[in-house]
Amino acid sequence: MSTPQTSPPERLTRRAWGVLFVLCGSIFLEGIDIAMLNVALPSIRADLGLSTAMLSGVVSAYVLGYAGFMLLGGRAADMFGRRRMFIAWLVVFLLFSGLGGLATEGWMLLLARFVTGVAAAFMTPAGLSIITTSFAEGPQRNRALLVYAGTAAAGFSLGLVAGGLLAALGWRWVFFAPVFLSAILLAAAFPLIKKDTARPERQRTDFAGAVAVTGSMLLLVYGVVRLEHPAQGWGWTVAAFAGGVALLAAFVVIERRSPAPLVRLGILRSAPLVRTNLSAALFAGSFFGFQFLVTLYLQELRGWSTLETGLAMLAIGIDAVLAPLATPWLVNRFGNVRAIFIGLVLAAAGYALFLPVGMDWTYAAMFPTMLLLGVAFSLTYGPFTIAATEKVAAEEQGLASGLFNTAFQFGAALGLSVVTAVNVAALDAAAPLEAFRTALLVPLIGAALAAVVIAFGMRTRVAEAAPALAVTR
């Protein structure tokens, strides 16, 4: 008896590649925007005379806007049109990036970064859901998502180098460069991305739920950010977390009673989706926390320049090559969950290799960690993106994208804040290098926990497959 022949996956058309180019450009823009700013912070402080608290606020403002509005942004894409939300908020991103470049006062930078973060919160899930609804589920969508994820990873990695180069010309170029890239993407988006289908005439909006969840995310992220400054006292930090949890509880009550909920709570009954988002949050926290610590080590302890620091971490950018080339083969061979698990184990190994770092370390000693993290990111980010939206109905793709991006961004904010808090606390009892080594334990623990969480998914799949094998026998 002959075995059935499976037809090869349909090739992407030129228009499909064009759409993918625009959407990959937008996530590259978001990644490079974050990375470039981090490198330019010392130049901004010197020019505008910002205090340490204000400088930290410039970074935190973006995180607050991004994580605070991400769930609302994901649902808005489903309700009001993915193309409409993507283009409208890309315009906002462009305008407020330009405002950041023109800033002459600290408050202008804070406003620009907060609104830019809000724009990214609406733009990113809209773009991701355009991919998941435009490409058929299976090899074609997986290929598109892996290219998309590789481009995002390249933005995070190459932004460090680009930021160093642009900051050498003047820190304002760190804000003006995204304006030019946004304009190119905007010009391409109009003819390439198909118009949204008509919405139902009487579509109800869960305004109360939107206010509750956005307020909750804002307060929780604010509480996380305040962990970086233990010397300021714990009163406002505890109040922020308590208020965030209270609003989150109110949100659950509202969603249960709403005839048109912002977030269908039933989607959270999917164990694979919850595992994916939790593991992604832990991985993001470990990855961005490590990047932050290495930047401090190279610039403040070793005296390296911003450009040298960016070039030192360029090896992580290997994920931009591996993600579209090697990762699809591994996903097809072993599946998303196993690829993620391998990536998380490699990340933990990379962090462990960096633990004995010393003041006399050469770059050759650091290179294995940078390389392992690049491979780890290529094996995790794309498969995470696929797993977070897999088997989700088309009308909830924006919601699933929003949940994933919220988890990833919240995890990044938590990781940055925890490593900063641990580093500051350790400095009171140890030398800077010892405090740095203590803080390095945070990324290692985060990656290890992420691997444990995703391993439960591997056990579940094996258990589900066993009965099927028994039947076929």
Q: Using CA atoms, how far apart are residues 356 and 349, in angstroms rounded to an integer?
A: 13
Q: What is the total residue count of the chain?
A: 473
Q: In sequence order, what DSSP letters do the residues of 31-89 get, joined into one string? A: HHHHHHHHHHHHHHHHHHT--HHHHHHHHHHHHHHHHHHHHHHHHHHHHH-HHHHHHHH
pLDDT at 277 exceeding the cut of 90: yes
Topology at the third CATH level for domain 13-193 = Growth Hormone; Chain: A; (1.20.1250)
pLDDT band, very low/low/confident/very high, at 465 (cuts 50, 70, 90): very low
C-beta of residue 186 within 8 angstroms of C-beta of residue 210:
no
pLDDT at 119 exceeding the cut of 80: yes
Going by C-beta distance under 8 Å and a sequence separation of 6 or more, which residues neighbour residue 249? Answer: none
Each residue's pLDDT tens digit, 158-212: 777 787 778 778 889 989 999 999 999 999 999 888 887 655 444 566 778 878 8
pTM above 0.85, yes or no: no
C-beta of residue 418 within 8 angstroms of C-beta of residue 226:
no
195-199-201-207 Cα dihedral, nearest 10 degrees: -120
C-beta of residue 247 within 8 angstroms of C-beta of residue 215:
yes
Domain boundaries, the chain: 13-193, 207-261, 270-460
Are both 13-193 and 270-460 of the same fold? yes
Average pLDDT of span 353-368: 93
Please tell me which residue, 315 or 372, carries the higher pLDDT value.
Answer: 372
Phi/psi class of residue 170: alpha, beta or left (left: φ > 0; alpha: ψ in -120 to 50)? Answer: left
C-beta of residue 69 within 8 angstroms of C-beta of residue 118:
yes
Each residue's pLDDT tens digit, 278-305: 999 999 999 988 988 887 788 778 888 8
HSE toward the beta carbon, residue 448, CA cutoff 13 A? 9
pLDDT band, very low/low/confident/very high, at 67 (cuts 50, 70, 90): confident
pLDDT band, very low/low/confident/very high, at 368 (cuts 50, 70, 90): very high
Query: Quick one: pLDDT at residue 342?
Result: 94
b (16+ CB within 10 A) / e for 119-148? bbbbbbbbbbbbbbbbbeeeebbbbbbbbb
Q: Using CA atoms, how far apart are residues 218 and 221, in angstroms rounded to an integer?
A: 5
Query: Quick one: pLDDT at residue 349?
Result: 97
CA-angle at 158, arms to 187 and 312, nearest 5°? 170
Domain 270-460, CATH number (from 1.20.1250.20, 3.40.120.10, 3.50.7.10, 1.10.3720.10): 1.20.1250.20
